[in-house]
Amino acid sequence: MTAALIAAFATSAAAQDDADPATPVIAAADTFFEALRSKDQEKLAAIMRPDGTIMIDDRMNGTTPNLLVVPNAAYLQGRDDSDTTINEVMRYESVQVDGNIGLVWGPYRYTVNGKTTHCGINSLTFIRREDTWKLGNSSFTMVPPEACEALGAPDIAQ
């Protein structure tokens, strides 16, 4: 009887985990970052909606902030496939899901060839269509590396 109760509880707990609406959104965010790190354009295009946008609040030059808006489709077409190695790590501080929209928010760190070039806060909006979550819009701040610690940007293991 005890074994049956434990098995029933474990099954119930697993079902609750599977029912967490944040789980597939987090998985989509993980897939996005894996694709971003890769040189595989098709993998990145598969997780990004071409009709979405990227909004960048560039504060690298503290005296003249700059807001840039780039369509996802243009970013995908112009993505650099050179020998540079990029890595971006984000801490998912908040994940919110309502219906077919999921939002992942938190600090990130971005490196090129192992050196931090900038960090900031990411706001990633995922859209679900036909049971598939894709990145619709992303907004992020860009600040210099010396601001990363105060911002709480995660470290990247080398």
pLDDT of residue 81: 64
pLDDT of residue 134: 98
For 127-152, write each residue's pLDDT tens digit. 999 999 999 999 999 999 999 999 99
Q: Which residues of the chain have pLDDT under 70?
A: 1-18, 80-81, 158
Alpha helices (H) along the chain: 2-19, 22-37, 41-47, 72-78, 148-151
pLDDT of residue 63: 77
Q: Are 119 and 147 in contact (CB under 8 A)?
A: yes
Burial class (CB in 10 A: 0-12, 13-18, 19+), 15: exposed
For 57-76, write each residue's pLDDT tens digit. 999 987 777 999 999 999 99
Most distant pair of Cα atoms in the chain: their distance: 69
pTM of the predicted model as reported, rounded to 2 decimal places: 0.84
